[in-house]
Structure 1
Amino acid sequence: MPLQFVGTIESLGSEVAGLSIGDRVMSPFTASCGACFYCSKGLTCRCSHPEAQLFGWIQEPAPGEPGSSRPRGLHGGQAQYVRVPLASSTLVKVPDDVSDEEALLLGDILSTAFFCAERGGVAEGDTVAVVGLGPVGLLAVLAARHLGAARVFAVDGVPGRRAQAAKFGAEPLAPEDAAAAAAAATGGRGADVVLEAVGAGGALALAFDLVRPAGVVSSVGVHTAAGWPFTPVDAYNKNATLRFGRCPARAYMERVLPIVQSKKWPFADIITHRMSLREGVRAYDMFERRKEGVIKVVLDPWR
């Protein structure tokens, strides 16, 4: 960890094209080749190149696993220098009118928020509910508003995060109040689209309860449970559309970049703490425990 980072190019491999030493660049959370079947369809998170792996995630091979005995994955950006494979197709130059912090968000959570909202099909006039107001969920509030949602309900158990969502133009709700509020606002139907950004069974169950019949639940939370909090027949009876998956951040970065450059939306306002890399353990503890009003922490390896 972390999955996303911003930096300046210090050296280049012999096969790198389109980049120069001194360029300020941002990286998505996966490397990608830009040319394979999946990249050509904009699904850069599923690039089939052997070096197209996740930053900040190292997986040891299972005992007896065929093929290479080398670990898979790439070291993350918690260092002063990071090696980026497939750099020509992975890195994106940062324009002068985009700050390092805005660029940092584009590499993962801002792109993921727009991916979540677009996969949900958020359209002009929709009623949208966002379940989970961590960094991705808060940015999903802004993404839904950008796509034309008329009302956005923002659901989280942490009062400070609900307060930030209210600043972004959402109607904040505690989880226990969300279903009744969404029903009351829609003549009993429920939300047209629910964006789930937690990755926990309870959050997914709430998202399913909030969505109207024939609505869409778009989930970008990383779910690790062995089962579902609802059954296939529940989904059938509700005519629900369920969409899950990892964001193709590299494909989204350039799409969302003009929105960042417009300065219409205060995306970087979710950054509550700026700390040195030496304070990384404390930063993770703060985030895990939701202490000191933390939402998003930026680590600076040069401080």
Structure 2
Amino acid sequence: MKALTYQGRHDIRYGDVPDPAVTSPTDAVIQVTAAGICGSDLHIYRGNPFSPELGYTPGHECVGVVVDTGDQVTRFKAGDRVLVPASVGCTRCRACAAGLTARCERAKSMTDLCYGVSPQLPGSQGQALAVPYADVNLVHLPEGISDEAAVVLTDNAPTAWYGCRRARIQPGETVLVIGLGPVGLMAAQSAFAMGAARVLGADLVAERRAFATTLGVEPVEGEDARTVIREMTAGRGPDAVVEAVGSDATIELALKAVRQAGRVSVIGVSQTKDFPFHMGLAQVKELEFAIGLCSVHYELPALLALTQAGRLIPEVVVSHRLALSEGPAAYELFNSRADGVRKILLDPAR
């Protein structure tokens, strides 16, 4: 089959790879109908991979149709339209049984928890994907949810909802979202759905700030973001901050910008091993700080219901639709943040 492969820093290639197959009675193979490029895929693209190996297919966001199943798969059959959650559950530990796949007790590293970060679990940016423990790691797609919305629901939307949930957003509060990529835009939608009265949005890219205003976000304009945020909140600071970038600078901004006794929730992927956390500041401000990886399975039931009801519109974050064969150029575009790029979907049929 055709797929993208990671060959090193800024080196994504399109070509032939072995067809995925059912190798265990609990496996399934799906034909991918749409795949996404996630912001965390850019860590790999920029030369900060989660595995030292090369040549594997990246990606952990896709929807498709079941084409084959193992003998022990009972919930799915050929022809079923499905969503593939980005997080992978072993199905056998207590955490996975509760849907908390990011806390899998059997996982030894990130490579056990996510598609497309090593050869161990080849990713979704190809024409087909093998899914282990399919009865748990596939989700039936309800009628009325498009492929575009469903791809966002595989990771970006659940991560955003998880971040807002851990920020304990309350009705009437003011929330700051740092980073207005797909996860940040979904965090803004989620905050409003949870009852936030105001959502402020900070991002270095003017086009992203401008688009966020169409969702009701108040953009943080100006070079001194902390001062502007203070002015926008009458000197108090936001009640909660959802950080969706993962850089040291943006996490520090979240800690400094939030109000006294506020909450900070970090969902941007960070590979920093020695973050200079200002313990004195956090203690004096009496802050709550949360950080983690989303268990997609756990968040999905609420998100599917909210999407069907029109309370969330995941597909609004999609800006570009390209052929899988254009994958190398798609990565370059996403990395550049040019052309108003927010979310890129890849079509494996082209």
Output the TM-score relative to the length of structure 1. 0.91
Residue 241 of structure 2: SS of its match in structure 1? strand
Once the two structures are superposed, the pairs formed by residues 186-225 of structure 1 within 5 Å of their partners are: 186-225=233-272
Structure 1 residue 130: Cα displacement: 0.3
Q: 1:14 aligns with which of 60, 64, 71?
A: 71
SS at match of 1:83: strand
Q: Aligned to 1:255, which of 288, 302, 309?
A: 302
CA distance in structure 1 between the aligned counterparts of 2:90 and 2:153, rounded to whole angstroms: 19
CA contact (8 A) 1:196 1:221 kept: yes
How far off its partner does 1:35 sit? 4.6
| Corresponding residue of 1:116 | 163
Structure 1 stretch 171-180 or stretch 273-282: which is displaced more?
A: 171-180
Q: State whether residues 28 and 90 of structure 1, in contact with CA within 8 Å, keep that contact through their aligned partners in structure 2.
A: yes
Match of 2:104 in 1: 47
**Contact 1:204/1:229, CA 8 A, preserved across alignment:** no
Is 1:283 aligned to residue 340 of structure 2? no
Q: What residue in structure 1 maps to residue 50 of structure 2? A: none
Contact 1:25 1:91 in 2 (8 A): yes
| Aligned: 1:264 with 2:311 | yes
Secondary structure, in 3 states, of the residue corresponding to 2:190? Answer: helix
What secondary structure does 2:261 align onto? strand
Match of 1:23 in 2: 80
- Structure-2 residue corresponding to 1:163: 210
Query: Matched residues in 2 for 1:54 and 1:175: separation?
Result: 37
Quickly say closer, same or farther: Cα 1:14–1:298, change in 2 above 3 A.
same
Range with bigger deviation, 264-273 or 187-196 = 264-273
Q: Which residue of 2 aligns with 1:96?
A: 143
Find the aligned partners of 2:186 and 2:200 in 1 and give their Cα distance. Answer: 13
State how far apart, in whole Å, the 1-side matches of 2:99 and 2:271 are.
Answer: 25
Given the alignment of the two structures, is residue 178 of structure 1 paired with residue 225 of structure 2, yes or no? yes
Aligned to 2:28: none
Does the 8 Å CA contact 1:32/1:49 hold for their aligned counterparts? no
User: Is contact 1:213–1:240 with CA below 8 Å preserved after alignment?
Assistant: yes
Number of equivalent positions: 290
Structure 2 unpaired stretches of 5+: 1-57
Q: Could you tell which deviates more after superposition, 131-140 or 169-178?
A: 169-178
| 1:185 shift after superposition | 3.9
Q: Which runs of 5+ in 1 are unaligned?
A: 59-70
SS at match of 2:338: coil
Confirm or deny: 8 A CA contact 1:202 1:229 kept in the other structure. no
Give SS of 1:242's match: strand
CA distance in 1, matches of 2:232, 2:221: 16
- Aligned match of 1:106 in 153, 161, 184? 153
2:323 alignment partner AA: S
Q: Deviations over 1:253-287 (max 9, x none)?
A: 12210011112333211111000111001011111
**1:214 counterpart SS class:** coil
* Identity across matched positions, percent: 39
**Larger RCO, structures 1/2 (Cα 8 Å, 6+ apart):** 2
Aligned amino acid, residue 18 of structure 1: R
Q: Structure 2: which amino acid aligns with 1:54?
A: C
- Indicate conservation of the 8 Å contact 1:52/1:86, yes or no: no
- The one-character-per-residue Cα deviations of 1:224-279 (angstroms, maximum 9, x if unpaired) are 22322442122111111110010001111122100111123332111110001110
What SS does the aligned partner of 1:297 have? strand
Q: Deviations over 1:24-54 (max 9, x none)?
A: 0001112214452212444212223469531
Larger mean CA deviation between 47-56 and 194-203 belongs to 47-56
Residue 177 of structure 1 and its aligned partner are, at CA, apart by 4.4
Cα distance in 1 for residues equivalent to 2:240 and 2:171: 12
**DSSP 3-state at the match of 1:124:** coil
1:74-122 C-alpha deviation (Å, 9 max, x unpaired): 1001111110001100100001111111111111000101001001001
Question: Please, what TM-score do these two structures have when normalized by structure 2?
Answer: 0.79
Q: Where do 4+ consecutive residues of structure 1 move more than 6 Å?
A: none
